[in-house]
Chains A and B, each alone.
Chain A
C-alpha cells in the first residue's frame, strides 16, 4: 500500500507538486494522467525517492519512506520508464538480472528468475538472452524493461509512460499483456501516462493532475460520467467521452437474456466492449445483436436502446 499525504515538491521557487494526497491499495493499478509538466512524473519519482519530497509524508506499507535507505527502497520497487533505460553494454539476461544481483541472490537463483521472467514476458530464452538491447525492436526492449522491473518480485511497480515510444499496435499489445500480467500477479502499480485511452484501458483508478494539483480522482467510469470540471472533461476527450465509456464497458454487462424473437444475424462476443458492439451495428446496419460465447453459442442479445439507455436505467456495473 502506498499513501501520499499532502506531498509537496518545489524546484527553486516553482511548486511542481502541490499538497497531493492519495492512497493506492495493494493490488490496484492507479494511473496518473495530465498534460506535460503537470507533476505526474515528479510524483512517481518521489515514491521511490529518485526525487525527495519537500513537504508531507509518503508511506509504503505504513512506514514513511524516509526510514529506508534510498537504494534499498528502490531495490524493493520495480521501475520501468519510457526510454526503457536498458544498459546497452549488457545482454538482455544480464539486464533483467540486475536487481536480483544487487540484492546478492546466488547466481543460480538469478538465472532461474531471469528465465522465468523471460517466459512470463514471452521472450524466448535461446533467442534473446544473449542479445544486446540495440538488437531488439522497440516492443521487445520494452518487454525486457518490464521484466527487469519485475525481476526481484517487488510488491510495487512504478511505470513512467512505459509504452509511450511504441507504435500503436505494439502499444495495444503490451497494454493487453500488462492487464493480463496484473490479473495474475496483483502488483500495486502506479502508472504515469498522457495517453487517456491507455489510462482508461488499464487503470483501476484515475488521478487527473493539473499544475501540480490533483483535479479529480476516481474510477474511470466515475470520471467519464461526472468530470469535475472542463479540464477533466476535455482531457477525457470532450464529446468523445461517451465512446470512451463504451470502450471500457463489456457487452456482458449490458446484454439481455435471449428473447423469443428471431435471433439477429449480426453477432458480437460477450467479452467485447460496447464500442465494438456499436461498430458492428454501424457496419451491419443492425440495431440488435446476438451475443455469443467462446463456442459461438448465442447467450443473449443486445439492442441499441439498451446500449445507449443502460447507463441511466441500471448503473448496474460494478
Chain B
C-alpha cells in the first residue's frame, strides 16, 4: 500500500481530527435574550444547519488528507488551508448571529462557545507545527497572519451582536483608558526596575555582601502574595501622603497607582536583577582576558565587551518581567490603580463572563506580543550560538 510507505504527519493528523470532533460536537456559541439570563448553547449544526456546518469542515478535511502525504509543497498547501480556517472563524459566528438572534430583541447577544475557542487553539498548534516543518522565520509567519487579522478587522461589523462586542460598545472610552493605564503601569514599572535593577546588579558585582543580602531580600519580596503586598503598602503610603504634601499632589495615596507601581516594581526587581547580574557575571572569562590582554581599558572592556555580551540575557530578564507585570497589573485594579483588571473584577462581580473576557483577552494579547517582540530582540542580539540563516555557505 502506498500510504504505508509515506511517513504520516501524526501531529497534523491528530490535531485536525481533534479539531473536527470538537468543532462539530461542542457548542459554537450561546444565544441570550439579554445580559442577565444565561444563554442557550448551540452546536454549529444546530446554529447554522448541517449543509453550512459541513462546508465549514471542508478545509479541516483537507488538512486531514494532507497529513497522509507530507512534503514541502503539501505543507505550504496546509498552511494556506489553516490561514483560510482562521480567516473564516468570525464568519461562522456572524452566520449564527444572523440565523439565531431574534431581531425583535435588541438586547439579545451571542456568547462565543467552546468549539470556537478550541478551534482557535488547535489551529494555532497546527501553525506552530507547520512553522517548524517549513522552517519559517517568525516575521514571515507574522506577515502571513496580517491578512487574517485584516479580515477579522473587516468582519467586525458583522459581529455587533457578540456579547463581547456589546460589553465593549458601552465602555469604549473606559476601555481605551484602561488599556492606556495598563500599559503605563507596566511600562513604568518595567522601565524603573530595569534602571534600578541594573544599578543593584552592578553594586552586587562590586561587593559580595551586597549580593547576598540583595538576593535574600528580593527573594523574600517575591514570596509575598501580590494582594498582601498591596495591602502592606496601603498604610505606609497613606501615611507618607499625609506627611508630605507634594507626594499627595502627585497622586500618591494608600490606594491608586502608587502602591500598584511600587508593588510591581518590587516583583519586577528580582527577575531583572537576577538576569542582569548573571548576564554580567557569566561572560566568558577567556573573552574578557583577551580584551584586557589586547590593551582595552576597563571602561572599554565593560562597554564594548561585557555589556554587549550580557545584553541578550538582560533583555531576557526584561521579557520575563514584562510578561509577569502585564499579568500582575490586572490584580492592581483591586486597589484602584486602573487597568484592564477593572473589567475582569467587574465581570466577576456581575457574573458577566463576557466582560471578564473583555479584560482578559487584551491582557493575553499584550503578554503574547511582549513575549514575541522581546524574544525576537534577544535572538537578534545573540551571536553566541546562532548560525544566522543564509550566513553559512
> For residue A48, which residues in chain B have a CB less than 8 angstroms away from its CB?
293
Asked if A119 lies at the interface with its beta carbon under 8 angstroms from chain B, I say: no
With an 8 Å Cβ cutoff, the count of chain A residues facing the other chain is 30
B157 at the interface (CB under 8 A from A): no
Q: Interface digits, B20-63 against A, CB 8 Å rule (1 contact, 0 not)?
A: 00000000000000000000000000000000000000000000
User: Which of the residues A82, A98, A130 comes within 8 Å of B294, measured between beta carbons?
Assistant: A98
CB distance from A127 to the nearest CB of B (A): 7
Alpha-carbon gap, A135 to B392, bound state (A) = 8
Nearest B residue to A82 via CB reads B286
Decide if B293 touches A83 in the complex (CB within 8 Å).
no
Q: Is B383 an interface residue (CB 8 A)?
A: yes
Question: A49 to nearest B CB, angstroms?
Answer: 10
Cβ proximity bits A41-83 to B, threshold 8 Å, 1 near / 0 not? 0000000101000000000000000000001111110010111
Identify A73's interface contact among B290, B291, B295, CB under 8 A.
B295
Chain B, range 357-375, C-beta contacts under 8 Å to A: none
| B383 contact set on A, CB distance < 8 A | 88-89, 132, 134
B287 touches which of A76, A82, A85 (Cβ 8 Å): A85
Question: Which of B297, B300, B384 makes the CB contact (< 8 A) with A134?
Answer: B384
Residues B291-305 near A (CB distance < 8 A): 291-297, 300, 304-305
- Distance between Cα atoms of A75 and B300 in the complex (Å): 13
Tell me if B295 and A74 are in contact (CB < 8 A): yes
Q: Of the candidates A72, A81, A131, A132, which one forms a contact with B293 in the assembled complex, judged by CB atoms under 8 Å apart?
A: A81
A85-128 at interface with B (beta carbon < 8 Å)? 85-89, 98-99, 102, 127
Residues from chain A with Cβ under 8 Å of B384 in the complex:
88-89, 134
Contact A83–B284 (Cβ < 8 Å): yes
Nearest-neighbor residue (CB-CB) of A127 within chain B: B393
A87 touches B391 (CB 8 A): no
B385 & A134 in contact (Cβ 8 Å cutoff): yes
Residues of B within 8 A of A81 (CB): 286, 289-290, 293
- Contact status B295-A72, CB under 8 Å: yes
Which residues of B have CB within 8 Å of A76? 295
Asked if B104 lies at the interface with its beta carbon under 8 angstroms from chain A, I say no
A102 touches B296 (CB 8 A): yes
Cβ A75 vs Cβ B295 within 8 A: yes
Q: How large is the interface on B (under 10, 10 to 19, 20 to 34, 35 or more residues)?
A: 20 to 34
* CA distance in complex: A48, B290 (Å): 12
Q: Let me know if B387 is at the binding interface, CB within 8 A.
A: yes
* Interchain CA distance A71-B294 in the complex, whole Å: 8
B294 engages A75 (CB within 8 Å): yes
Which residue from A75, A86, A131 sits with its C-beta under 8 Å from B290? A86
For B286, list chain A residues within 8 Å (CB): 81-85
Residue on A nearest B309 in the bound complex, by CB: A89
* Best-surrounded residue of A50, A89, A132 (most CB of chain B within 10 A): A89
Whether, in the assembled complex, A244 has its beta carbon less than 8 Å from a beta carbon of chain B, the answer is no
Q: Is B191 an interface residue (CB 8 A)?
A: no
B266 at interface, CB cutoff 8 A: no
- Interface residue B5 (Cβ < 8 Å from any Cβ of A): no
Are B387's CB and A87's CB within 8 A? no
Contacts of B393 in A (CB 8 A): 127
CB within 8 Å of B: which A142-183 residues: 145, 148, 158
Nearest CB of A to B292, in Å: 6
A86: which B residues are within 8 A, CB to CB?
A: 287, 290
CB-CB nearest in chain B for A158: B293
Residue of B nearest to A130 (CB): B391
Residues of B within 8 A of A84 (CB): 286, 290
Query: Chain B contacts of A88 at CB under 8 A?
Result: 284, 287, 309, 383-384
Known: A81-B286, A88-B383, A134-B385. A74 touches B291 (CB 8 A): no
A87:B305 contact, CB within 8 angstroms: yes
- Chain B: minimal CB distance from A109 (Å): 18
Kindly supply a per-residue 1/0 record for chain B positions 373-387, scoring 1 wherever the CB is within 8 Å of any chain A CB and 0 otherwise: 000000001011111
Given A89-B383, A134-B385, are A74 and B292 also a contact pair (CB < 8 Å)?
yes
Q: Which residues does chain B contribute within 8 Å of A127, judged by CB atoms?
A: 393
Q: Which residue of chain B has the shortest Cβ distance to A83 in the bound complex? A: B286
Q: Do A148 and B293 touch across chains, with their CB atoms under 8 A apart?
A: no
CB-based contact B291/A87 at 8 Å: yes
Q: Which of B293, B294, B305, B388 has the most CB of A within 10 A?
A: B294
Least Cβ–Cβ distance between B122 and chain A, in angstroms: 37
Residue of B nearest to A74 (CB): B295
Task: Answer yes or no: B308 CB below 8 A from chain A CBs.
Answer: yes
Inter-chain CA distance A132–B308, complex, in Å, is 14
Docked Cα-Cα span, A148 to B293, in Å, equals 11
Given contacts A99-B295, A135-B387, contact A85 B309 (CB under 8 A): no
A-B contact list, 16 entries, CB within 8 Å: A48-B293, A50-B293, A79-B293, A82-B286, A83-B284, A85-B286, A85-B290, A85-B293, A88-B287, A88-B383, A99-B295, A130-B391, A132-B388, A134-B383, A135-B391, A145-B290
List 12 other contacts, CB 8 Å, given A50-B289, A76-B295, A148-B294: A74-B295, A75-B294, A81-B293, A84-B290, A87-B309, A88-B309, A88-B383, A98-B296, A132-B383, A135-B387, A135-B391, A135-B392
Which 4 A-B residue pairings sit nearest by Cβ, starting from the closest? A85-B290, A83-B286, A75-B295, A74-B295
Binding site for B on A (CB under 8 A): 48, 50, 71-76, 79, 81-89, 98-99, 102, 127, 130-132, 134-135, 145, 148, 158
